[in-house]
Structure 1
């Protein structure tokens, strides 16, 4: 089994667990499913990511960013994103930044009134 197949299998399991009636609420405390449109393909993609709240933003740390491509859709001026948060889907604007040590963080500012992610 190649690495891409393993990652796809892992992501599939995590997405199912976040939607499960019993385990879902616990899983959603650390994971969120994101949806975005690929800049080049125009296709909609979904993937689970680990996240945390930081003030009025949601931060997504990208583990092993050189082996992943999804975050590249949010470089430069960033782009639209949808997050499946507890309480419902929320849209926002995401911007990816790579620091001097090569770490990548995607910062999401939610749209609309009540944009504080901690309120969800």
Structure 2
């Protein structure tokens, strides 16, 4: 059996799960735990010039944030950070933090490394 991740049903389901997790991330009870692993990334599309926001999982060490994009061929947002990379904003520690992100392919997934700007 082959799963098609590009069809409308999975996209709708993923949208609902992301909306649910975003709401939980804002809750007083579950928020602190979820915010340690999930953040909202906001960026401007290279070609469209539009601003987008999406919920992502991340790991952080100091001023370096690492985002692993699984199934990158089914997603397009990470392509805004190929080559020299580009600016973005992350919701960390209850505030928007800006930084510069660079994406690179690695063994079936994409790694985005974000260097946060100094406050």
Q: Report the TM range for the smaller structure's normalisation.
A: 0.7 to 0.9
Cα displacement (A) at 1:87: 3.5
2:70–2:108 CA contact under 8 A, matched in 1: no
Q: Which runs of 5+ in 1 are unaligned?
A: 114-120
Moved >2 Å (runs of 4+): none
Structure 2 match to 1:56 = 63
Q: Are 1:40 and 2:47 counterparts?
A: yes
Q: Are 1:19 and 2:26 counterparts?
A: yes
Structure 1 match to 2:4 = none
Aligned residues: 112
54-63 vs 87-96, which moves further: 54-63
Give the TM-score normalised by structure 2. 0.87
Q: Which runs of 5+ in 2 are unaligned?
A: 1-7
Give the TM-score normalised by structure 1. 0.86
Q: Are 1:109 and 2:115 counterparts?
A: yes
Instruction: Please report the RMSD computed on the Cα atoms of aligned residues, expressed in angstroms.
Output: 1.4
Structure 1 match to 2:17 = 10
Superposed CA offset, 1:43-63 (max 9, x none) = 111111110024531000001
Structure 1 match to 2:5 = none
14-23 vs 72-81, which moves further: 14-23
